[in-house]
């Protein structure tokens, strides 16, 4: 993992510092600043798990609801050894902004458990997932807070959580969580929606810049759910994916990599570099790809650098190494505000997380509607609704950036914050907790 000098407290300070310019430009009332200075609710829970060897281990988890002005809190659950309260708080803050940017009737929430899920057996992972939902059950609900997947939480994990909530509620309550397996009320198209939405944002931008996919090379940091589907669909559209990385290393092929072949191996827990330093047990890429450092991937001379792993990856210490002509943020918060400013000085556009990765939460919203109405749609309908919303909101953000002469990120924040601020003011002056 590239070293970063930052802590999660810095992360929250950095994230909230971006609001100052937005508040000034929108001339928001002091009530808005005051309301958004801290999360509406932060819950810390212990998550006891009986391990396969009989030992009891207690993990720490959190659920944070940053703001619920525009609707119930919405946002994923992260299983990661480095997760802590400030990281979850920051992620829930970004959820509030992003839901507002694309006009969803949601506030922002996020959850996490400090655990390395790769060290758990399948049964231990199931017990952990169920225990976490038991611990936060009092604060979630279809009209209150609706969790979803994030790093290391896939449809299988979400399915166990949904099942556990049903047992607690003694009722089928699919709308309490999204990203479920289709068999348990999940939406067709949700698994690939984050990557699909990000590609759409890239395509809209490329059209505006009069650039053709066939002429554009892409390097991608991270090769999980969001990145794989992005890479697969981007290749179909004509882009060339020259490099990929995961938590263990990176690989490069200037002529282009095949995301599908590589993903088959990733789903067997094979790391990317094992495909280059290979034997007969894997699809061997030794003749077509080379192993490179994760930091080297961030410095490749490509048209688009896609950040699809974790936050804080491009910061003041490595931003000068970036040679890509544009950055697409699929991860939440992968570029710090100082790095953002340095990139802006060099005219390197950043397609920001709060717009570029909204495909996931948009299809989560479509899943929630389907669960609540009992009317389930085919995949083409889901994809079309996703396309229409991204196109409408991305066009607005790009137009606003042009009109105001600001970065795409500032334009997206202006769009989202205007909606949140209007909601806060409409609620009146003396409302209590949600
Ligand atoms: N899933 C969703 O719907 C959404 C996700 N996002 C964001 O997208 C990002 C990725 O999420 P998702 O794909 O779901 O998560 P996954 O857990 O599926 O994948 C995460 C990927 O990041 C890799 N990774 C971790 N650390 C590094 C590193 N230092 N360098 C390179 N790669 C690294 C992991 O490697 P390894 O394979 O070795 O574990 C893995 O390939 C996150 O920031 C998430 O918040 C945003 C919106 C929606
Ligand atoms: O699908 C969702 O509700 C949210 C996914 C998520 O955590 C995110 O967009 O960062």
264-287 pLDDT tens trace: 999 999 999 999 999 889 999 999
For atom 37 of ligand 1, the residue with the nearest CA is 246
Is residue 280 domain-shared with residue 160, that is, in the same domain?
A: no
Domain end point (choices 289, 320, 351): 351
For a mutational test of ligand 1's pocket, the pick from 247, 313, 314, i.e. the residue with the most ligand atoms closer than 8 A to its C-beta, is 247
**Does ipTM surpass 0.90 in this model?**
yes
Is residue 401 in a domain? no
Residue matched to tokens 């792993």: 309
Is residue 111 in a domain? yes
Q: Which ligand is nearest to the CA of 229?
A: 1
Is residue 257 domain-shared with residue 343, that is, in the same domain?
A: yes
Is residue 286 domain-shared with residue 146, that is, in the same domain?
A: no
Is residue 31 domain-shared with residue 120, that is, in the same domain?
A: yes
Q: How far is the CA of 294 from the centre of ligand 2 (A)?
A: 25
CATH code where residue 53 lies: 3.40.50.10860
Is residue 71 in a domain? yes
Is residue 25 domain-shared with residue 90, that is, in the same domain?
A: yes
Residue 418, marked binder: no
Is residue 258 in a domain? yes
Residue 193, marked binder: no
Is residue 336 domain-shared with residue 271, that is, in the same domain?
A: yes
Is residue 377 in a domain? no
148 lines ligand 2 (CB under 6 A): yes
Q: List the domain range (segments joined by +) for residue 279.
A: 192-351
E strand or H helix that includes residue 342: helix 337-345
Q: Which of 42, 33, 31, 99 is nearest to 66 (CA)?
A: 42
Tell me the average confidence (pLDDT) per consecutive run of 10 residues in the chain, 434 residues long.
Answer: 58 92 95 95 98 98 98 98 97 98 98 98 98 98 98 98 98 98 98 98 97 98 97 98 98 98 96 95 94 98 98 96 98 96 97 98 98 98 98 98 97 98 90 68
Is residue 201 domain-shared with residue 130, that is, in the same domain?
A: no
Is residue 144 in a domain? yes
3-state DSSP percent of the chain in helix, strand and coil, to 5: 50, 15, 35
Is residue 322 domain-shared with residue 273, that is, in the same domain?
A: yes
pLDDT at 206: 98
Is residue 97 domain-shared with residue 208, that is, in the same domain?
A: no
110 counts as catalytic: yes
Domain end point (choices 351, 382, 416): 351
CATH code where residue 326 lies: 3.40.50.720
For a mutational test of ligand 2's pocket, the pick from 90, 98, 360, 371, i.e. the residue with the most ligand atoms closer than 8 A to its C-beta, is 360
Is residue 29 domain-shared with residue 106, that is, in the same domain?
A: yes
Helices (H) and strands (E) in the chain, counts: 14, 12
Q: Are 147 and 161 in contact (CB under 8 A)?
A: yes
Number of structural domains in the chain: 2
Q: Which of 194, 71, 69 is nearest to 141 (CA)?
A: 71
pLDDT at 6: 57
pLDDT at 5: 46
Is residue 197 domain-shared with residue 283, that is, in the same domain?
A: yes
pLDDT at 230: 98
pLDDT in tens, 222-232: 999 999 999 99
State how far the Cα of 115 lies from the Cα of 117, in Å rounded to an integer.
Answer: 6
pLDDT at 372: 98
Please state the pTM of the whole predicted model.
0.97
Is residue 238 domain-shared with residue 341, that is, in the same domain?
A: yes
Domain end point (choices 115, 144, 173): 173
Is residue 290 in a domain? yes
Is residue 361 in a domain? no
Residue 235, marked binder: no
């Amino acid at each position: 993992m590239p070293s970063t000098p930052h802590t999660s407290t810095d992360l929250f300070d950095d994230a909230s510092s971006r609001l100052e310019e937005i508040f000034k430009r929108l001339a928001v009332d002091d009530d808005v600043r005051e309301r958004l200075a801290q999360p509406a609710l932060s819950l810390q829970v212990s998550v006891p798990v009986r391990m396969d060897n009989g030992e009891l281990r207690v993990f720490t988890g959190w659920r944070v609801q940053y703001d619920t002005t525009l609707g119930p809190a919405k946002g994923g659950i992260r299983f990661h050894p480095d997760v802590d309260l400030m990281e979850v708080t920051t992620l829930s803050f970004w959820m509030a902004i992003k839901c507002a940017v694309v006009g969803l009737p949601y506030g922002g929430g996020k959850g996490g458990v400090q655990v390395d899920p790769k060290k758990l057996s399948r049964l231990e992972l199931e017990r952990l997932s169920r225990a976490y939902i038991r611990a936060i059950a009092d604060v979630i609900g279809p009209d209150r807070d609706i969790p979803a997947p994030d790093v290391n939480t896939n449809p299988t994990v979400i399915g166990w959580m949904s099942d556990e909530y049903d047992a607690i509620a003694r009722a089928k309550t699919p709308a309490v969580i999204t990203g479920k397996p289709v068999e348990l009320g999940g939406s067709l198209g949700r698994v690939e929606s984050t990557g699909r939405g990000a590609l759409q944002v890239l395509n809209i931008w490329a059209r505006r810049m009069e650039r053709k996919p066939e002429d554009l090379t892409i390097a991608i940091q991270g090769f999980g759910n969001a990145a794989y589907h992005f890479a697969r669909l981007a290749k179909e559209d004509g882009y060339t994916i020259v490099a990929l990385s995961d938590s263990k290393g990176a690989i490069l092929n200037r002529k282009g990599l095949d995301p599908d072949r590589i993903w088959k191996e990733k789903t067997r827990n094979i790391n990317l570099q094992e495909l280059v330093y290979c034997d007969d047990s894997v699809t061997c890429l030794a003749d077509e790809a080379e192993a490179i450092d994760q930091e080297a991937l961030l410095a490749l001379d490509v048209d688009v650098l896609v950040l699809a792993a974790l936050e804080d990856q491009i910061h003041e210490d490595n931003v000068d190494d970036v040679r890509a002509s544009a950055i697409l943020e699929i991860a939440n918060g992968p570029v710090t505000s100082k790095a953002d400013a340095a990139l802006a000085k060099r005219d390197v556009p950043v397609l920001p997380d709060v717009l570029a990765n909204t495909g996931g939460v948009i299809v989560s919203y479509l899943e929630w509607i389907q669960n609540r109405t009992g009317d389930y749609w085919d995949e083409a309908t889901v994809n079309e609704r996703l396309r229409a919303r991204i196109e409408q909101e991305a066009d607005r953000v790009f137009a606003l950036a042009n009109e105001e002469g600001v970065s795409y990120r500032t334009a997206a924040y202006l769009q989202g914050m205007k909606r949140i601020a209007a909601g806060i003011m409409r609620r009146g002056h003396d409302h209590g907790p949600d």
